Chain A
Amino acid sequence: MHETPQNAGYMIAAYVVTAVVLVGYWLRLAGKIRRGTRD
């Protein structure tokens, strides 16, 4: 029975990256829509 590896850091990084990319893209689109409403 071997020990379960301790690698939570990698998992947290992956979850953070995914959230940042998706929320970031959403905000980018929101910014463009806002600019589209102006003028």
Chain B
Amino acid sequence: MASGLRGALALAARDIRAELRSRTALTSALVFAALVLVVFNFARDPTRLGVADLAPSALWITFAFGAMTTLNRAFAIEKEHGALDLLRLAPMPREAIYTGKLLANLAFVGVVEAVALPLFVLFFNRPVWHILGPLLLVTALATIGFVAVGTLLSAMAVRTRFAELMLPLLLLPFMLPPVIGAVQVTARLFADRPLSELWGWLRLLAVYDVVFVTISVLIFPAVADE
């Protein structure tokens, strides 16, 4: 168990170091985030639509697509280097390989979100200090859910023809509950609604994370084994 965890952390560290060298995933995700935010700002008619009405959707489109781009890149790099087959031969539990990839992907998506959020505050002129805690909580809950499924699916997608298309196609249905939940919570946060209104959604997001992280860890050997 402890050695499995060490293996997972080592794997995640290796991925993060590789990404720090190339920064391709990060750059493409950031450019994308900036583009979405700019388009949203200019498409809005300020006399008819308040910033608060648009802010939750703009934020979550940015996060969702940024995450998708990141996930796609993460395994594409793996494929270019042919490292996947080496991983399969590595003397570590399959569960640890999955956990390592999950941690690395969470780190990448987390960085994209951490950069997109200040951009968002800047462009939308929307202070978030007073709701930062709950906002980070809901972002984390939603992100863990779809990145857990995305990591599992991308391990399969990369071994198919049309890999770049396959991941979004397969992941789309699994993004629905986390993103709907996150948008609902974010909208209520921006509208300064009481926290008691958010419990139902937060609980749903938390249960989603538990279910899909567990099933992904359990089922990953079926993907990785020959």
Asked if A and B touch directly (CB within 8 angstroms), the answer is no
A residues at B contact (CB < 8 Å): none
The chain B residues found within 8 Å of chain A, CB to CB, are: none
